Structure 1
Amino acid sequence: MTITTENPIIDLFLDALWMEKGLSQNTLSSYRRDLKLFDQWLQCTASPGLLQVQPSDIQSYLAARLRDQKSPRSTARLLSCLRGFYQYQLRESKIALDPTLDIDSPKLPMPLPKSLSETEVEELLSAPDVEVPLELRDRAMLELLYASGLRVTELVSLRMGQLSLTQGVVKVMGKGSKERLVPTGEEALYWMQRYMQHGRPLLLGTHMSDVIFPSRRGTMMTRQTFWHRIKLYAQRAGIKKTLSPHTLRHAFATHLINHGADLRVVQLLLGHSDLSTTQIYTHVARERMKELHTQHHPRG
């Protein structure tokens, strides 16, 4: 049997997806790979073509992936891709029924975001040498990140019109173009004021820019550059934990909840549209309490 590796039906779907939703090239590549593998499996098993499959064919494919020990997360992504593909075909009147309609997604374990203790955060924030303009900028960025729970992308893209030093708030345009006002806190406000007076003018030099945290060239810093800066300071502070670009955002939320903050307030500060997304931090707080109990209780 000849296995066809290219299928114009897949290309048409991906083109439509790109035009409708503007998905990234990485996401489109993942969808292409998932659909091609499913199409090839159908051909190898003499199953019907992509537009003729039944729910039982998809169940068989999912079972085959389970035998191959594919992760539940990749299977959930595959199923999401298939759902989008068949909903598109249904809209285009290429099929009469969506074969994914009654297929449940695999249950995924709730990942607990990696966080830092309050002591580790203090050490990280104190790592930059604030006598150096570049590191003063980084100190202000780290302080603002921890004080406000911004996403790294939101932080590096901040412009002057979004910051009010007199009111101590930043106006953030988050995911889905949703705007929110976030307080900076006194400590972050102090470092922001110090940076704006003694760091930013020296960094900009003759460059003109309204970016709050410019790079050495006076342009907007990339999130990757800032991530490298975080790793530099973590190493300098002797922090051995594996960090992510969102580590301080996670620490912000976890420490707020540890100190009794209302979950809905944390949801608003983080810019989560769904409370269930924020609830993961209550799990982090519970895990931390269990850990402390085990360490310090005489019968732990």
Structure 2
Amino acid sequence: MRPLKPKLVVPAAVAGAGQGDRWARSFIEYLRTECHLAKNSVAAYQRDMTRFCRWLGDRFIPKLTVRDLTDYLAFMREENLDPKSIARHVVTLKLFLRYLQLEGIIKDNPAELLGTTKTAATIPDVLSPTVAARLLDAPQPYDPLFRRDRALLELLYATGCRASEVSVMEVRDLRIEDRFCLARGKGSKERLVPLGDPALAAVEAYLEHERPKLAAKSKQGVPPWLLLSSRGQRLTRQKIWELVKQYALRCGAPASMSPHTLRHSFATHLLSGGADLRQVQELLGHASIGTTQIYTHVDQSRLKKIHSQFHPRA
């Protein structure tokens, strides 16, 4: 922790509208440059701070009380945020006011007195193996970049990677001969994930027939990323979401389908096949096994099978 700086004297003119925005920008810059948070994490904090500043208006931060912050929680409920999102906003608020303490702008942190909203663990959507197979076969030769799209879907399902991880994956991260790829997760943590035959075949077909043509369209030299857009740029996380939604609609998958659904399906199908929870934790890149345990609630058929197999009174 950095040493405390002398308390700043805030002129009366600064105490009006706009002071929250200035301190919020300073806080985000602190997270980016001094805490070295990942880009996506900084973006999430920035979204939370935007909402907080919208609520803040001309309120003066050093004068905020616990009652004021309770009103902020009510404001978020009025905006129909779910309990999980509100809990995340509370964490952001606590960290922001802690930063202002370090800067000497405030003496006490009233957010520390806010209770943490407990959120119920939600069971993620999971595709059946049959629907997953239909989705992976959805890209067809009449689609402009069907080989790339097949490689994308196969990678998401074969590795359990997040959309953001597949988006930044580079060609050098592939180890085709060794049958695995390198994934960079949250906090820039790296992990090795095996690739099965269907995923390898889809990726190799894309590398041979489509990627060279896409790479030639890049105006910034040879692009390092594995999955490229029609203009030879990195395939963004947003575009990956659009493609998954497009092919989900085509194959009759649920409307709530997203890239994360394939990640959930990857984990659940592994557990259904008998994989150990610790192994699945490592493959998903979860820091805590508690996060992985949610998948044990999804596959009730496996639990029934274990019960009938081992319980003497089953």
TM-score interval for Structure 1 and Structure 2 normalised by the shorter chain: 0.7 to 0.9
**Correspondence for 1:142:** 153
Correspondence for 1:17:
27
- Alignment partners' CA distance in 1, 2:231 and 2:80: 48
8 Å CA contact retained: 2:126, 2:261 = yes
Residue ranges of structure 1 left out of the alignment (5+ in a row): 44-48, 291-300
Deviation at 1:165, TM superposition (A): 0.9
RMSD (CA atoms): 3.2
CA distance in 2, matches of 1:138, 1:68: 36
CA contact (8 A) 1:130 1:139 kept: no
Residue pairs, 1:182-201, within 5 angstroms? 182-201=193-212
Q: How far 1:71 sits from its partner (Å)?
A: 4.5
Could you tell me which residue of structure 1 aligns to residue 55 of structure 2?
A: 37
Instruction: Give 1:109 shift.
Output: 1.9
> Alignment partner of 2:191: what SS?
strand
CA contact (8 A) 2:267 2:295 kept: yes
SS at match of 2:290: helix
1:95 Cα offset (Å): 3.5
Question: Match of 1:76, as an amino acid?
Answer: A
Structure 1 residue 232: deviation in Å? 2.2
**Percentage of identical aligned residues:** 37
Q: Residues of 1 paired with 2:248 and 2:164: CA distance?
A: 19
Q: Could you say which residue in structure 2 is the equivalent of 1:230?
A: 244
**Matches of 2:149 and 2:68 in 1, distance apart?**
54
Is residue 261 of structure 2 the alignment partner of residue 250 of structure 1? no
Please report how far the alpha carbon of residue 81 of structure 1 lies from its aligned counterpart in structure 2 after TM superposition: 3.4
Aligned in 2, Cα 1:137/1:31: closer, same or farther, shift over 3 Å?
same
Distance 2:242 2:78 in 1: 39
Q: Aligned to 1:242, what secondary structure does the other structure show?
A: coil
1:222-265 residue CA offsets vs partner (Å, 9 max, x unmatched):
22222222222222212244212322111111111222211221
**Which whole-Å CA distance do the structure 1 matches of 2:77 and 2:216 have between them?**
58
Q: Is the 8 A contact 2:156 2:263 kept in 1?
A: yes
* Partner of residue 170 from structure 2, selected from 159, 164, 175: 159
Q: TM-score w.r.t. structure 2 length?
A: 0.76
Q: Which of residues 104, 110, 117 in structure 1 aligns to 2:115? A: 104
Matched, 1:95 2:95: no
The code of the aligned residue for 2:155 comes to L
Residues 74, 218 of structure 1: CA spacing in aligned structure 2 closer, same or farther, 3 A cutoff? closer
Taking the aligned partners of 1:206 and 1:61, their CA distance within structure 2 comes to 49
**Does the Cα contact within 8 Å between 2:170 and 2:225 map onto a contact in 1?**
yes
Cα 1:73–1:38 change in 2 (3 A) is farther
In the TM superposition, what is the alpha-carbon distance from 1:118 to its structure 2 partner? 0.8
Contact 1:158/1:211 (<8 A) preserved: yes
Quickly say closer, same or farther: Cα 1:125–1:29, change in 2 above 3 A: closer
Residues 124-163 of structure 1 show CA distances to partners (whole Å, capped at 9, x for unaligned) of 0111125867101211221121111111122132222111
The answer for the alignment partner of 1:270 in structure 2 is 284
Give 2:151's aligned amino acid.
A
Q: Which one of 188, 202, 210 corresponds to residue 177 of structure 1?
A: 188
C-alpha contact (below 8 Å) 1:53/1:99 kept by paired residues: yes
CA contact (8 A) 2:136 2:150 kept: yes
Is the CA contact (8 Å cut-off) linking 2:225 and 2:234 kept in structure 1?
yes
Instruction: Structure 2: give runs of 5+ residues left out of the alignment.
Output: 1-14, 33-40, 305-314
1:206 Cα deviation from its structure 2 partner = 6.8
Letter in 1 for 2:21: D
Correspondent of 1:218 among 222, 226, 232: 232
Bigger shift: residues 23-32 or 104-113: 23-32
1:191 deviation in Å?
2.0
**Distance in 2 (alpha carbons) for counterparts of 1:177 and 1:145:** 18
* 2:311 corresponding residue in structure 1: none
SS at match of 2:256: coil
Amino acid paired to 1:285? D
CA contact (8 A) 1:133 1:199 kept: no
Conserved? CA contact 2:227–2:235, under 8 Å = yes
CA distance in 2, matches of 1:189, 1:56: 57
